[in-house]
């Protein structure tokens, strides 16, 4: 069998396993970090220091009875979590998480450490992640519940409002790298530049695009329905929002999709603005994982610290604050690159 095909299949399997594992690790990390920030105990009973709590959660969801409202559309009710989970896991396929490798000399030529090296990878991520909202809308519609429908409508409006700003925040990076291929964007950030001729700094785009990074990260919070933008599943208003009527493994699929989307958003921010797997001692997957978990910590920190926006504040902030700032950033970057 072709060794390149075997290597590619191994990369696909490892990438899927990595994203799946990140969901379980995120659950434990969120509970521990939120408990520390809010001065309370996190999980500590299941396993040493509560480290087996994600396993207990999975077993609980597997053993729970699966319920469906009497007036629900059975087909769409089942299809909705599948769409959300599939979109969440597929988006990570084009993200490079390590330097090109020959697998310890087993391959004649090095290949990229990613499931698929696509020349329009940035567009692929935006296209695939935007499909996740269909799962949320179908879940709200098919549940035959007002709370679920309100959560689904909020999610679709929120995604439209913030996805535009997120796309514009990335334009500056695309101008600087002159590529839509994520591996080439990482390559454009390798090496060191000298600030004022005396201070060495990595060529990460966050130093040239600080505003773009902030806008991208804020939009990622809104896209993943995380606090303070968790209006689609606001417990105080909508019980649990679009997944109010879900239980057992269908609820688990929405749960995994949310944490997989967090991992994908953090990985994209790392790739676009933080140099991907590049680090002080050369590129390595260790640097990539470290940066991703640093951003995931900020996700959790915001949830444990910030109050939820009102819905009108959410929409105003997206259209009247972030969108103009993203436009200014994109235009200013284009002008500076053209002039300099």
Which residues of the chain are under the pLDDT cut of 50?
Answer: none
What was the pLDDT predicted at 58?
Answer: 87
Q: Tell me how far apart the alpha carbons of residues 198 and 192 are, in angstroms, rounded to a whole number.
A: 12
Other CB atoms within 10 A of residue 227 CB: 18
Give tens-digit pLDDT for 218-239. 999 998 988 888 887 777 777 7
What was the pLDDT predicted at 127?
Answer: 92
| Closest by Cα among 336, 340, 330 to 174 | 330
Q: Is 334 helix (H, G, I), strand (E, B) or coil?
A: helix
What was the pLDDT predicted at 196?
Answer: 65
Name the pTM for this structure.
0.93
What was the pLDDT predicted at 1?
Answer: 65
Q: Tell me how far apart the alpha carbons of residues 56 and 58 are, in angstroms, rounded to a whole number.
A: 5
Burial class of residue 93, CB neighbours in 10 A (0-12, 13-18, 19+): buried
Other CB atoms within 10 A of residue 155 CB: 25
Give the DSSP letter string of 92-134: GGG---S--B-TTTTSSS-B-SSS---TTHHHHHHHHHHHHHH
Stated length of the chain: 340
Q: Tell me how far apart the alpha carbons of residues 42 and 30 are, in angstroms, rounded to a whole number.
A: 9
Q: Are 167 and 267 in contact, with CB atoms under 8 Å apart?
A: no
What was the pLDDT predicted at 227?
Answer: 81
Q: Tell me how far apart the alpha carbons of residues 278 and 291 are, in angstroms, rounded to a whole number.
A: 10
Q: Is 201 helix (H, G, I), strand (E, B) or coil?
A: strand
Q: Which two tokens stand for residue 266?
A: 């953090």
What was the pLDDT predicted at 197?
Answer: 67
Q: Which two tokens stand for residue 5?
A: 């095909």
Q: Average pLDDT over the chain, rounded to whole?
A: 89
What was the pLDDT predicted at 317?
Answer: 93
What was the pLDDT predicted at 233?
Answer: 76
Give tens-digit pLDDT for 95-145. 999 888 887 777 878 888 888 888 999 999 999 998 988 988 898 889 988
Q: Tell me how far apart the alpha carbons of residues 130 and 134 are, in angstroms, rounded to a whole number.
A: 8
What was the pLDDT predicted at 199?
Answer: 73
Q: Tell me how far apart the alpha carbons of residues 332 and 335 are, in angstroms, rounded to a whole number.
A: 5
**DSSP state letter for 306:** P
Q: Which two tokens stand for residue 258?
A: 């949310």
What are the beta bridge partners of residue 200?
194
What was the pLDDT predicted at 283?
Answer: 83
């Amino acid at each position: 069998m072709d060794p390149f095909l075997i290597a590619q299949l191994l990369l696909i399997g490892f990438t899927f396993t990595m994203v799946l594992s990140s969901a379980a690790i995120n659950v434990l990390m969120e509970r521990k970090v939120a408990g520390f920030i809010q001065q309370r105990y996190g999980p500590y009973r299941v396993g040493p220091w509560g480290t087996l709590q994600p396993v207990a959660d999975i077993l609980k969801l597997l053993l729970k009875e699966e319920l469906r409202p009497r007036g629900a559309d059975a087909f769409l009710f089942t299809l909705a979590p599948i769409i959300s989970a599939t979109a969440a896991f597929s988006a990570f396929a084009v993200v490079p998480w390590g330097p090109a490798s020959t697998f310890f000399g087993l391959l004649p030529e090095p290949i990229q450490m990613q499931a698929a090296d696509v020349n329009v990878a940035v567009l692929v991520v935006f296209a695939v992640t935007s499909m996740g909202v269909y799962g949320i809308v179908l879940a709200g519609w098919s549940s035959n519940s007002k709370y679920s429908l309100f959560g689904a409508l909020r999610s679709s409006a929120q995604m439209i409002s913030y996805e535009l700003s997120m796309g514009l925040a990335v334009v500056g990076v695309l101008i600087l790298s002159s590529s839509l291929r994520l591996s080439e964007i990482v390559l454009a950030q390798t090496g060191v530049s000298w600030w004022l001729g005396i201070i060495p700094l990595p060529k990460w785009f966050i130093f040239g695009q600080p505003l773009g990074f902030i806008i991208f990260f804020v939009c990622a919070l809104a896209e993943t329905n995380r606090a303070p933008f968790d209006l689609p599943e606001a417990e105080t208003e909508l019980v649990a929002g679009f997944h109010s009527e879900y239980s057992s493994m269908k609820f688990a699929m929405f749960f995994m999709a949310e944490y997989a989307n967090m991992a994908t958003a953090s990985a994209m921010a790392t790739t676009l603005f933080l140099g991907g797997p590049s680090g002080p001692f050369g590129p390595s997957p260790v640097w990539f994982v470290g940066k991703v978990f640093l951003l995931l910590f900020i996700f959790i920190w915001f949830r444990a610290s910030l109050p939820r926006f009102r819905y009108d504040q959410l929409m105003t902030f997206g259209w009247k604050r972030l969108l103009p700032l993203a436009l200014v950033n994109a235009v200013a970057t284009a002008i500076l690159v053209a002039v300099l």
